[in-house]
Amino acid sequence: MNQQAGNDYVRREGGILLHLTSLPGLHGIGDLGSNALGFVDFLASAGQKLWQILPLTPLGHGNSPYASPSAMAGNPLLISLELLAAEGLLTGEELAGGETFPVDRVDYGSVIAFKLDRLKRAHRRFKSDASAQQSSEFEAFCGRGASWPDEYALFMALKDAHNGDLWLRWEPELVKRQPEALDRARRELAESVDFHKFLQFQFARQWSALRVYANSHGVRIIGDIPIFVALDSADVWSHQELFYLDEHGRPTVVAGVPPDYFSETGQRWGNPLYHWERMAQQGYQWWIDRFRTTLAQVDIVRIDHFRGFEAYWEIPAQNRTAEHGQWVKGPGEAFFRAVEGALGRLPVIAENLGLITPEVENLRLKLGYPGMVVLHFAFDGGAANPYLPHNYEQRSVGYTGTHDNDTTVGWFSARTSEEQDHVRRYLGCSGEISWDLIRLLSESVAEMAVVPLQDVLALGTGARMNMPGQADGNWTWRLSPGQLTPRHAERLRDLSGLYGRAEARG
């Protein structure tokens, strides 16, 4: 990723897509503790140099990491209770109870109640028993200069005080962020504000340790920045002037995409749209802060819906579906040059899937960012299909499928017999379809080859992570204890070594 566009040498790497919530563990959801370190060990043993995750931000509507109440905060559910216990913030008895959770999926309602109770206990113990060093580290975290932790902590404290209600339904003086009302809220909700800062402090410490461990084992982390943010977020509440909102704070236009591969009526995401002119007048500072925060956490950033920076689909807020909207020009090259002027060259992967125009590709190429290619999209349209490996650019990131796709086994099962025959003829084999595609991707010229862990395990549709356009039932799949074996690592390492993505075995 550090090579400039046009360089002769392109590093070849392989990696695995697995979000942290999908890790095994004792408390109903993956976390930043021992199983995350163990997964890094697996990646290293398998010759995989990349670990791609979904956004690290707190979960929003439908338990989605793409509908977060903050574009910059960390997900408190990922905090390891075992690591808190190791610091003396929880007792052994307080760690008990995880055996009641399912091991193959996340039961979010039960997990949230369980972990929130333990996190509150840890906070109370921290306040009463923290060592001088712990207190000093927490004070340094709270005073490090960024504004988002204060905004986020106050926002979450107010949401708690309003039983989780949308901020538009709070008292008018809080909706309008009148200074006197905010000062009063900070005083009255000081304990809750401190709790949410404590959660961010613990997340930051645990995440930093995991990232250092990954990097020390030759594994770089690919993070994710969704282009849009949720209406019910600290970002919109704190920066209402940067979005198209009416005098009551309600969006006048919202984001989505027109009818596409995933939906005949398009997707009405409902995110408020940015007022790019005002953002430009502020030097894109909010975005610079967002990239700076994310790049302090990960090594490479996948920009979700990159095409929206060239042009985005604007839907009148009153429309319930996405068919009737219009394309509106985005900020384009000037935006990225401003961010790079502040932060330097961005290690970016541009998600350029869906309806991509020549203008979008020209922007990506001008910026020198690799795009994405997905094998599941490759086997229709004939030999010119850009997702067939013989059409790949070197500076691209290839996937069998993404978190939005079915698993490879599920995808293949849903093909017609003619389509399945076409896939087999292209592959020249008829064995395990998921591993056939992993091999095909590994041998391609794509700079990076990333495979969802579900495909390594050859799992069917039941292991799918997300169904776009479906509000409920997503993001729940988990890796079961013992499901991943040394044999999986050996097979991945052999392929990566064979195709120059890892050191070949002697």
Catalytic positions, written as ranges: 304, 351, 404
Length of the chain as a residue count: 506
- Residue by residue, DSSP assigns 439-469 as HHHHHSS-SEEEEEHHHHTT--GGG----TT
Query: What are residue 326's phi and psi, to 5 degrees?
Result: -150, 150
Reduce the secondary structure of 350-368 to three states and give it as a string: ECCCCCCCHHHHHHHHHHC
Q: Which of 271, 228, 237 is nearest to 253 (CA)?
A: 271
Instruction: Report the chain's terminal Cα–Cα distance, integer Å.
Output: 28
Give DSSP secondary structure letters for 25-79.
Answer: -SSSS--SSHHHHHHHHHHHHTT--EEE----SPP-GGG-TTS-S-SSS--GGGS
How would DSSP label each residue in 188-205?
HTHHHHHHHHHHHHHHHH
Q: Sign (positive/negative) of CA torsion 447, 404, 66, 49?
A: negative
With CA atoms as reference, report the closest residue to 251 among 157, 193, 315. 315
How far are the Cα atoms of 132, 141, 142, 435, 446 from residue 136, in angstroms, in the given order? 6, 9, 10, 50, 46
Is-contact 65 43, C-beta < 8 A? no
In terms of Cβ atoms closer than 10 Å to its own Cβ (0-12, 13-18, 19+), residue 126 is buried
In angstroms, the CA 262 to CA 374 distance is 14
